[in-house]
Amino acid sequence: MTIQQHRAGQKIREWREAHSPPLNAEEFGAQYGAPGRWPSRTVYGWEVKGKIARAAVQMRLSQLGVCKPEDWLTPAQAPVIAERPVATPAPAADFYDAHRHGFVRIATSTPQVRTADVAFNRDAVLAEAQRAHSAHVDLVVYPELCVSSYAIDDLHLQAALLDAVEMAVGAIISASASLSPMLLIGAPLRRNGKLFNCALAIAGGRLLGVVPKSFLPNYREYYEKRWFAHGRSVVGQEMTVAGHSAPFGTDLIFAAANLPGFKVFAEICEDYWSPNPPSTVGALAGATILANLSASNVTIGKSDERHMLARAQSSRAIAAYAYCASGHGESTTDLSWDGQGMIYEMGDLLAESERFSLDAQLSIADVDCDRILSERMRNQTFNDAAEAEDCPENRFRTVSFEHKFTGGDVGLHRPIRRFPFVPGRAHRLDEDCYEAFNIQIDGLMRRMTATKAKSIVIGVSGGLDSTHALVVAAKTCDRLGLDRKMIKGFTMPGFGTSDYTKSNAWKLMKAMGISAQEIDIVPAATTMLEDIGHPFADGEPVYDVTFENVQAGLRTDYLFRLSGQHDGFVLGTGDLSELALGWCTYGVGDQMSHYGVNAGVPKTLIQYLIRWAVQTSQFDAATDDVLTAILNTEISPELVPADERGAMQSTESKIGPYELNDFFLHHIIRWGQRPSKVAFLAYHAWKNAGEGQWPADFPEAKKNEYDLATIRMWLEKFLWRFFQFSQFKRSALPNGPKVSAGGALSPRGDWRAPSDAVADVWLQELKNGVPEG
């Protein structure tokens, strides 16, 4: 059935988009709906489904100048197709602006506080706001009741104190007009004969809204119900504070109209400890940043509990979670305070304040709201949960404000892992590396028991991949109580094989105690090159792809025939990085095997796991020596003879450093990020080897750095290889275990893509979004 669209819907869409700033359907309905807000689905119904608004709505839209009543009966005009403008590269300043890439800078602030001294506390709040302004912070989260102070007991019910609090709030609102951050402060506020423990959102001289605390603790040392009314049923209301009227309720999301993704929901202290925190529904309603204004006295172990809750809530709600507790200066009549502030994003700790400090604390981190929204888009469970909650976005009120953020290059306050596939938790390094090894071992064990194979056939080159695969195979035999001699290792030197790597292959096979044999493929390769009339057979030094693939194909062919001869299966050695780049020979080549044990392990992780195995003495000294030698060898396919200077064929000089390629791969397959953002992150991760964190025990000599031009060059090559060149090889990928949460490329698992796609979209975005130098 053809949908008959009308001119009114067309005008509504045009009016929204022409609004400054442009309004989405939800914001339009929230700001202009009368007598109640118009849900986004209703607005879209008018615009794209031809639905007719009721008479009162038609009149409201006519009064606003959006459309006339007769427009509802007039067919929509055919759109004018304008000539598509040629995209131009973004200015360099835009590239270096973190906001452009979806980052929002947030801070937790534990200001100086003095018990019941409202004027002192007001000035302390503003002092931290000014400090945050100077640091280009977008959002500051303060402790619970920071204006009055928390531990004042029945003084909460004193009219003089409450009057002073309201005057202080008014002063803070006025002062905020010259400050860039949005402030979330805590204060006790009166309404209709009730006192509420509130979070106040303030920005640009406006009181944006007031959120009451939902759950009031009234057990052990807490007795908040003595003073406060709960806010669980407070929705859709208004409140006036110091002459400023604003929405009041637990149904509020504060959204920057000019910074997509900057959407904040606030809850207060005990809300965080409840079985069903209000922030869960806040996230389902669209908030990306969840803020907790807390007092929370400190006891032994409570810091760990707060970390656990913040990590869990940020992970479960797919959000950022900023938590800020009261600090030194609160009354210590019966309790003490540590001033803990922390910022989590989807389970990752980004920043944490100093606890028990006598000084005010401002803990800052750049939160990636773009990454949060990307993950929600991928995680249908999140969206199903929102639907199960009857779509909270339809009943929540969005309070829009124009955010006065600082553009340009203000740095990046955020830890970025140079090696995103490598275990990054130093305190759990052994456990993570053990787990990585055993995922592969367990997968291979199951394949062996399922096939009842009598042997494992593997090509051993003396390179990283075959070394790691052999280590996994040997450990698998040990776990199954099998003699390692069942592993049939074959080194197959070709035209470019060096004596050094061949020697390492033999040393490794001997150290592992497997069955070892050498098959020289040069005669067979020469015969094949002669048979197909390749110039090399006539003495010409032509080392093209055919020359290389003849050798790669023969090795695989031998391995498959040997697996039949020995009643076993071929263990693949190719890794995730090579699959991403298509750096493998398709079909009868190293792309194929019976089981690809390394298919989910990128090159950087293989290097790290082997290095960890040596450093933790997982093997004997002889094995450690050969593993170290292999780690220090130039990565090369060794398919082309050395040149006149003895230089071997270098993989990374052709396809780029694996450490950069793995960085690109992680951010593209795991988060679907734009090339310009990948380049931005890579620039901040790799621009200075002396800054940031490196994996534990990473060799100093291997700590590299790259400038933006280099990053851009290799990213361009990666994008073409990944999106346009190599998918057909991944579509025919043998079985193999997924190892990292960063993703794998199996067409049966993480990654499904057409083999005949083109990379133009990604290459153009890179060209437009990243300066050349």
Instruction: Give catalytic residue positions.
Output: 144, 213, 269
Which residue in this structure is represented by tokens 């043998």?
Answer: 734
Chain centroid to CA 28: how far? 30
Q: Do 89 and 82 touch, CB atoms closer than 8 A?
A: no
Which residue in this structure is represented by tokens 């809300």?
Answer: 271
User: Is 548 strand, coil or helix?
Assistant: helix
Q: Do 60 and 12 touch, CB atoms closer than 8 A?
A: no
Tell me which H or E stretch contains 401: strand 397-401
Contacts of 100 (CB under 8 A, 6+ apart): 90, 94
- Integer Cα distance of 7 and 651 in angstroms: 60
Contacts of 368 (CB under 8 A, 6+ apart): 101, 102, 103, 345, 414
Which residue in this structure is represented by tokens 């990085």?
Answer: 577
Query: Residue 725's closest CA among 539, 581, 514?
Result: 581
User: Is 521 strand, coil or helix?
Assistant: coil
- Integer Cα distance of 653 and 650 in angstroms: 6
Give the burial string for 511-521 (b: 16+ CB within 10 Å, else e).
bbebbbeeeeb
User: Is 10 strand, coil or helix?
Assistant: helix
Token code pair at residue 242: 């110091």
- Integer Cα distance of 393 and 383 in angstroms: 11
Dihedral of the alpha carbons of 680, 685, 687, 692, in degrees to the nearest 10: 140
Query: Residue 586's closest CA among 745, 730, 747, 729?
Result: 729
- Whether residue 35 is preceded by a cis peptide bond, meaning omega within 30 degrees of 0, is yes
* DSSP E strands, 19-63: none
Q: Do 543 and 532 touch, CB atoms closer than 8 A?
A: no
What are phi and psi for residue 741, nearest 5 degrees?
A: -65, -15
3-state secondary structure 62-88: HHHCCCCHHHHHCECCCCCCCCCCCCC
- Integer Cα distance of 610 and 126 in angstroms: 53
Q: Do 165 and 213 touch, CB atoms closer than 8 A?
A: no
Looking only at the bridges linking them, the beta strands covering 595-596 and 320-324 are unpaired
Q: Do 325 and 113 touch, CB atoms closer than 8 A?
A: no
Q: Do 177 and 132 touch, CB atoms closer than 8 A?
A: no
> First CA to last CA across the chain, in angstroms?
53
Q: How buried is 2 (Cβ within 10 angstroms: 0-12 exposed, 13-18 middle, 19+ buried)?
A: exposed
